[in-house]
Structure 1
Amino acid sequence: MYGFIRRSVQWMALLFCGLSTTGCSSNVLVFHPAGPVSRIEEHLIIMSIILVTIVVVPVILLLWYIVRTFRDTPNNPAPYEPEWSESRVLESIWWGIPIIIVAVLGFFTVKDTFALTRPPEKVTNPLTILVTSLDWKWMFQYPGQQVATVNYCEIPASRPVQFVLTSNAPMNSFWVPELGGQEYTMPGMAMRLWLQADQPGIYYGHGANFSGKGFAHMQFNVHAVKQTQFDAWVKHLKRTAPPLTMDGYHGLVRPSVVGQMSFSSYPPTIFRDMIMQEGGMYMKRDMTILGTAD
């Protein structure tokens, strides 16, 4: 039954995209969850659509019935009651049902939202990745491995990843639709986002907040691989990629569009220094957010 409802909601979403805009892809990524976080969020989306439909559809049908029944036409048999003012039954229905729907939706939204502030699965060795949105590119730093990348991210499959997000440019929004919901990147802030990929694969990510003329180029891929492949990738970068120097970092900060880049090392304090120079609202309270678990 749930599978039928899920497919029905997907088709309704595709139909809405087709009717509302020509730029909406036929492959709605949020309805193709590839991890525990995105599955929870997909369930919330479907539940929200169903609950809203419970209200919207009867209201539309009732509107059609009222207009058709009480329209001003000759010999209309509908009762004419100019002194009618209220109905406790109707008042209870159109106030009671929305209150129940909002309460149900609010309960599950709060429950799942707070659950997603923790790793999607209990593990002792999550991977921490520091993410910085720049103009117009994404930089990923691995504090446990001391390597860095630009415009692509490598993660082990079936292992929770804690993304710690900030910005050294206008505010943006980090989003990998198949793995989970978006989280904002803001100067002076260090925001957490837990994601996990169930299977190896390449997952599309992009900035979901308009940030100027290069916004369309703020795309990246998340490569989920087996743990052994991830370890081999780190060793390969250590041997072959150039180091990221402070001069190189300052060059990345300047507005520009670049392709994928890899670095065998980076100045270890640039992420913390960048946040602190903008105020460091979270860093002053919780310096352990940078964790170095490998």
Structure 2
Amino acid sequence: MRQTILAVLSLSTLAALLTGCGGDMVLLNSKGPVASGQSNLMMTAIYLMLLVVIPSIIMALWFGWKYRASNKDADYKPTWAHSTAIEIVVWGIPVIIIGILAYLTWWGSHQYDPYRPLDSEKKPLTVQVIAEQFKWIFIYPEQQIATINEVRFPEKTPVNFQITSNFTMNSFFIPALSGQVYAMAGMKTQLHMLADNVGTYRGFSSNYSGYGFTQMRFKAHSVTEAEFTNWVDAVKAGKGTSINPEAVDKPVLDKAVFATLKDGDRSKHQIEAMVNNAHTAKEKEAAEKAERLGPFPTKPYPVTYYSSVEPNLFDSVINHYMGNYHGVDHDAAHADAEHAASVGE
């Protein structure tokens, strides 16, 4: 029995460590109505499932103890085969719980649909998000500014994120404020979010998208309306470093500058191996391209503020991948992008 108890305690401790208990429990410490609702929904589902799991574990241990070989007082019924009461319990309770979970899933999928606008008296702030290799680009179309690896918004104000990708599929995630939403090339996904209070929250890519995807981290700042207005004015004036001394101020984000932001997708050692092992013309061409793009970053791209942004830049990124559906030569468009990148360098 002692060994059984020790085994159960060891497995429980291991499970707690694997689930992150005692560490960053951000999913259970939500700071916005969307994330809070999703967290409550998740915990409600867990509690309902524990109504079956916990009794099952207790009964498994208790039955093993009660009907052990050394217990001569335990009932011995070799001809026992059926119990209606047990059948009702072991089938009825799980069916009821599954029914409740099905309703909660249906209700929650509509209530916390990322495309569903949030109810608020305040006008939503629109922020366009582009997953780049390997960084996050945020465009404020109404304010006509852009940032890299940092997003700011007023507290208690709905934020409408419009999300796409300029390379492979990725995932946009601010766990304290909302669920994750995929960013896909040629598509626009949405996420509506709101922060209850001021604060700084962690954002990152939650989907593996290449060797440098771990560098796709950013900070989401919820600030007062006055602080947000001051920040926007400072960025427009090219003085964003007065708000964030660690940031870099730049003038304009247009298509030519945007094309230079893509990082290489291979490590330094991989590029060296490609160059050394290149023998055919095709292999040499691939090695030269890898050298030109360079290795993926070993640390996140610095926070950058652009005082202005080219109109419809976000839409042009989507249309670049949709061009072949409208009679445009996709290879030619890709060549134009590479030419713009070389000019920007």
TM (norm. structure 2) is: 0.71
Match of 1:60 in 2: 57
Q: Deviations over 1:117-163 (max 9, x none)?
A: 32333335111111111221111111111111110001111100011
Match of 1:115 in 2: 111
Kept in 2, the 8 Å contact 1:176–1:203? The answer is yes
In 1, Cα distance between equivalents of 2:15 and 2:315: 41
1:1-294 correspondence runs (5 A): 19-20=17-18, 26-71=23-68, 73=69, 76-117=72-113, 118-123=116-121, 125-240=123-238, 241-255=250-264, 256-257=296-297, 258-279=301-322
Shift of 1:115: 1.9
Kept in 1, the 8 Å contact 2:120–2:157? The answer is no
In 2, Cα distance between equivalents of 1:238 and 1:74: 81
In 2, Cα distance between equivalents of 1:53 and 1:75: 30
Give the SS at the match of 2:309.
coil
In 1, Cα distance between equivalents of 2:21 and 2:209: 20
Percent identity between the two aligned chains: 35
Aligned residues: 265
Change beyond 3 A, Cα 1:159–1:76: same
In 2, Cα distance between equivalents of 1:142 and 1:158: 18
Larger Rg: 2
Question: What is the identity, as a one-letter code, of the residue corresponding to 1:131?
Answer: V
Match of 2:277 in 1: none
Q: Deviations over 1:9-57 (max 9, x none)?
A: xxxxx96665337x87623111221111121112112212211211111
The structure with higher relative contact order (CA 8 Å, sep 6+) is: 1
Kept in 1, the 8 Å contact 2:133–2:262? The answer is yes
Kept in 1, the 8 Å contact 2:122–2:157? The answer is no
Change beyond 3 A, Cα 1:221–1:122: same
Cα-Cα RMSD: 2.3
Shift of 1:75: 6.3
Change beyond 3 A, Cα 1:259–1:101: same
In 2, Cα distance between equivalents of 1:211 and 1:103: 37
Give the SS at the match of 1:278.
helix
Kept in 1, the 8 Å contact 2:254–2:313? The answer is no
Kept in 2, the 8 Å contact 1:138–1:220? The answer is yes
Kept in 2, the 8 Å contact 1:36–1:120? The answer is no
Change beyond 3 A, Cα 1:135–1:15: farther
In 1, Cα distance between equivalents of 2:15 and 2:55: 23
Q: Counting helix residues as a fraction of each chain, which structure ranks higher?
A: 2
Question: What is the identity, as a one-letter code, of the residue corresponding to 1:35?
Answer: G
Compare 107-116 and 227-236 and name the one that shifted more.
Answer: 107-116
Q: Deviations over 1:184-235 (max 9, x none)?
A: 1122221111111111111111111122221221110011111122122112
In 2, Cα distance between equivalents of 1:120 and 1:237: 28
TM (norm. structure 1) is: 0.82
Question: What is the identity, as a one-letter code, of the residue corresponding to 2:151?
Answer: C
Match of 2:242 in 1: none
Kept in 1, the 8 Å contact 2:125–2:160? The answer is yes
Q: Which structure 1 residue ranges, 5 or more long, are not aligned?
A: 1-13, 281-294
Q: Deviations over 1:216-269 (max 9, x none)?
A: 211100111111221221121111141012221011133344111111222223
Kept in 2, the 8 Å contact 1:128–1:163? The answer is yes
Match of 1:8 in 2: none
